[in-house]
């Protein structure tokens, strides 16, 4: 089976809901874009302060902001924009307000395309879906393509069975890109999130099941 390459975008904006989404979810894809010469920025819409995980002492809002910036450096991301929308409440925010924030950064960086989680949210978290809907709305106005990170159906099903989480995967016919990736920088970035990357968490099993492949859907064409 042929493996379609990533689009030849020169500038990429990743739009995520929480600090660690850029590493845990999109890290290997962002690394692949960077290896291909793209300039990558990350827009994170919340500080992730509602997390129930907390592996270190201190204010979680500040901790997760510092972790995000360290992870971005590990990945080779040029710029991180961290916003103050409510963690756990993105879905209740006006879409226009979220889309305006995405559009502002995308315009300033002259991006060729946006990257986010699949519209399903992948993990079923409504914040993930809201972040991608905001990216889609901004892309509609700017005439930009959007790629959504997803899981194959069998991987999502396996994770759901093992961990009881609501992972949503897609059949292979619904997946547009199957990208061979290196995990090296992603794993370094993941290690920058000690408050979230706990031993035995679903993250490690997902990476094991995916191996050296990541899967993307074209959510919007240019």
**Domain residues of the chain, as ranges?**
11-220
Q: Please answer whether residues 13 and 138 qualify as being in contact, where contact means their C-beta atoms are separated by less than 8 angstroms.
A: no
Q: Alpha-carbon torsion 47, 49, 55, 58, what sign?
A: positive
Helix 95-108 and helix 126-142, axial crossing angle in degrees, nearest 10: 60
pLDDT at 1: 41
Q: Which tokens sit at 98?
A: 């979220």
At residue 57, the pLDDT reads 63
Detail the DSSP E strand segments found in 67-203: 79-82, 113-117, 146-150, 177-180
Do residues 82 and 47 lie in contact, with contact meaning Cβ atoms separated by under 8 Å?
Answer: yes
pLDDT along the chain (222 residues), means of 10: 75 97 97 96 92 69 92 97 95 97 98 97 93 98 98 96 90 95 97 88 95 97 89
What global pTM score does this model have? 0.94
Q: Would you tell me which CATH number, out of the four given (3.30.450.40, 2.10.10.90, 3.40.50.10320, 2.60.40.1510), belongs to the domain 11-220? A: 3.40.50.10320
Best CA proximity match to 18, nearest among 138, 121, 97, 127: 127
Residue 2 has a pLDDT of: 43
Could you count the other beta carbons within 10 Å of the beta carbon of residue 61?
A: 18
Provide CB contacts within 8 A for 18, sequence distance 6+.
Answer: 44, 46, 48, 51, 64, 87, 127
């Amino acid at each position: 089976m042929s493996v379609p390459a990533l689009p030849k975008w020169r500038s990429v904006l990743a739009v995520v809901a929480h600090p660690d989404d850029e590493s845990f979810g999109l890290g290997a894809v962002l690394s692949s874009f960077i290896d291909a010469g793209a300039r990558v920025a990350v827009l994170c819409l919340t500080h992730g302060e509602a997390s129930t995980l907390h592996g270190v002492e201190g204010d979680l809002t500040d901790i997760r902001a510092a972790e995000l910036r360290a992870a971005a450096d590990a990945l080779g991301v040029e710029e991180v924009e961290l916003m103050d929308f409510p963690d756990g409440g993105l879905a209740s925010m006006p879409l226009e307000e979220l889309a305006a924030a995405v559009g502002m950064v995308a315009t300033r960086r002259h991006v060729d395309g946006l990257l986010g989680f699949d519209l399903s949210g992948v993990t079923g978290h409504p914040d993930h879906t809201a972040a991608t809907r905001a990216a889609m709305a901004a892309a509609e106005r700017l005439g930009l393509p959007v790629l959504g990170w997803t899981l194959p159906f069998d991987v999502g099903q396996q994770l759901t069975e093992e961990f009881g989480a609501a992972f949503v995967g897609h059949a292979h016919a619904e997946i547009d890109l199957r990208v061979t990736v290196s995990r090296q920088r992603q794993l370094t970035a993941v290690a920058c999130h000690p408050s979230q990357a706990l031993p035995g968490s679903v993250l490690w099993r997902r990476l094991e099941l995916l191996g050296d492949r990541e899967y993307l859907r074209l959510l919007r064409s240019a």
